[in-house]
Amino acid sequence: MFRAPIRRMATAARQSLKIGLIPADGIGKEVIPAAKKVLEAIGSDIPKPEFVPLLAGWEVFQRTGSALPEETVEALKECDGALFGAVSSPTRRVTGYSSPIVALRKELDLYANVRPVVSVAANPGDKPAIDLVVVRENTECLYVKQEQIVSTENGREARATRLITERASRRIGKMAFELALGRPRKQVTIIHKSNVLSLTDGLFRETVRAVPRLAEVNGRYDSVKIEEQIVDSAVYRLFREPQIYDVMVAPNLYGDILSDAAAALVGSLGLVPSVNASDKFVMGEPVHGSAPDIEGKGIANPLAAIRSSALMLRFLGYPAPADRIDRAVDQVIREGEVLTPDLGGKSSTQDVLDAVLKKL
């Protein structure tokens, strides 16, 4: 079972939890309401949830000219946590548009994207065959979106700036080590390509490796084993022997690719949750995209969004209700009678939601 970092964000005694809901585009508008229903069904295990509907996404941009309204950002600053659905970013360049999820990560300093990838064992007491966590730095790398077109005598050249800083690498490294402390194997694998990108990936690698030697941690991570892997080799070994990995920590782009690839090992992107976290705020987000091919058909898999709500609760300091949600999802998957088409079933989004609520 996934555990949030030992130094999870503090939650004082309160009467309610204010949760921002941002369905955004595509099937986000179908799976986030399902996650909301599950949180409502938890009952007294958490403070009464108060939901705040918020806008963001490509469709909002087309209507208003802004993919991330300032009202949404300001409202989130008053929330305890949030759930984000999916965004339909165009593949072509559109003047004035940028991804709202990337912008939110910067606006709220959500520096860590944490993506557990866990297979469901055939029997409740069995150890899962795949149990790893991808910890992705969330604020820099190529995602700083500093690109330009330059005209040369050989035609146009497109150039992009890749940013890796010591500060960001250090804090994502600390997040990875904290996560490893709460896991049986206590292993962190640093993913990089410093054999080619010796300065940028070299700085990331060296900074993360140095985290256990920081004076402020004072031997805290002495029990954590450090491994490292070149990113292309890591992808190969991820498919051949995923059991060698425990906590994988990577720069933004590599983490994005690795976590999507890892989802194939457990059956579907529709099963894999994530959170975007700072030291003060957490936003759950299913790993899957907006899936426009199935939008509105009622067959989107809500389990990743439901698991993301559980992951959000863990980071808010409520592990017991999160365990209840995960156990209910595991039971539904294990029984295999109510599954959406991406998992080989014929059930609807509502069918799967009803099955999870019944298990709760």
Dist. CA 307–CA 35, nearest whole Å: 8
Kindly name the residue from 143, 221, 245, 318 that is annotated as catalytic: 143
For 345, the domain range is: 1-110+278-360
Q: Same structural domain for residues 243 and 283?
A: no
Read off the tokens for 162. 């890749």
Residue 91, pLDDT score: 79
Helix axes 28-41, 303-316, angle to 10 degrees: 50
Q: Same structural domain for residues 104 and 155?
A: no
Residue 8, pLDDT score: 47
* pLDDT digit string, tens, across residues 200-210: 999 999 999 99
> How do beta strands 81-86 and 282-284 pair?
parallel
Q: Where are the alpha helices (DSSP H) in the chain?
A: 28-41, 58-64, 70-76, 100-107, 166-181, 200-210, 231-240, 252-263, 303-316, 319-335, 349-359
Annotated catalytic, 354?
no
Query: Full-prediction pTM beyond 0.85?
Result: yes
With H, G, I as helix, E, B as strand and everything else as coil, classify residue 182: coil
Q: Same structural domain for residues 173 and 192?
A: yes
Dist. CA 328–CA 75, nearest whole Å: 31
Read off the tokens for 256. 């994005």
Q: Same structural domain for residues 209 and 295?
A: no
Kindly name the residue from 256, 326, 330, 342 that is annotated as catalytic: 256
Kindly name the residue from 109, 260, 279, 323 that is annotated as catalytic: 260
Last residue of a domain, one of 268, 290, 313: 268
Kindly name the residue from 29, 36, 174, 193 that is annotated as catalytic: 193
Q: Same structural domain for residues 86 and 161?
A: no
- pLDDT 10s per residue in the chain (360 long)? 566 664 445 455 567 899 999 999 999 999 999 999 999 999 889 999 999 999 999 999 999 999 999 999 999 999 999 999 999 988 788 888 988 998 999 999 999 999 999 999 888 888 889 999 999 999 999 988 888 999 999 999 999 999 999 999 999 999 999 999 999 999 999 999 999 999 999 999 999 999 999 989 989 999 999 999 999 999 999 999 999 999 999 999 999 999 989 988 998 888 999 999 999 999 999 999 999 999 999 999 999 999 999 999 999 999 999 999 999 999 999 999 999 999 999 999 999 999 999 999
Q: Same structural domain for residues 245 and 131?
A: yes
CATH number of the domain where residue 60 is located: 3.40.718.10
Annotated catalytic, 193?
yes
Task: Assess if residue 84 is contained within a domain.
Answer: yes
Residue 2, pLDDT score: 64
Annotated catalytic, 342?
no
Phi, psi at residue 345, to the nearest 5°? -100, -170
Q: Same structural domain for residues 126 and 165?
A: yes
Give the DSSP letter string of 118-170.
EPPPSSTTSPPS-EEEEEEE-S-BGGG--EEEEEETTEEEEEE--B--HHHHH
Task: Assess if residue 352 is contained within a domain.
Answer: yes
Annotated catalytic, 131?
no
Q: Same structural domain for residues 80 and 155?
A: no
Residue 267, pLDDT score: 85
- Count structural domains, the chain: 2
Q: Same structural domain for residues 59 and 132?
A: no
Last residue of a domain, one of 208, 243, 268: 268
Last residue of a domain, one of 233, 268, 303: 268
Q: Same structural domain for residues 306 and 206?
A: no
Q: Same structural domain for residues 106 and 158?
A: no
Dist. CA 112–CA 268, nearest whole Å: 23
Task: Assess if residue 264 is contained within a domain.
Answer: yes
Annotated catalytic, 232?
yes
Q: Same structural domain for residues 5 and 139?
A: no
Residue 47, pLDDT score: 93
Residue percentage of the chain with pLDDT more than 90: 83
Task: Assess if residue 273 is contained within a domain.
Answer: no
* pLDDT digit string, tens, across residues 6-55: 444 545 556 789 999 999 999 999 999 999 999 999 988 999 999 999 99
Task: Assess if residue 81 is contained within a domain.
Answer: yes
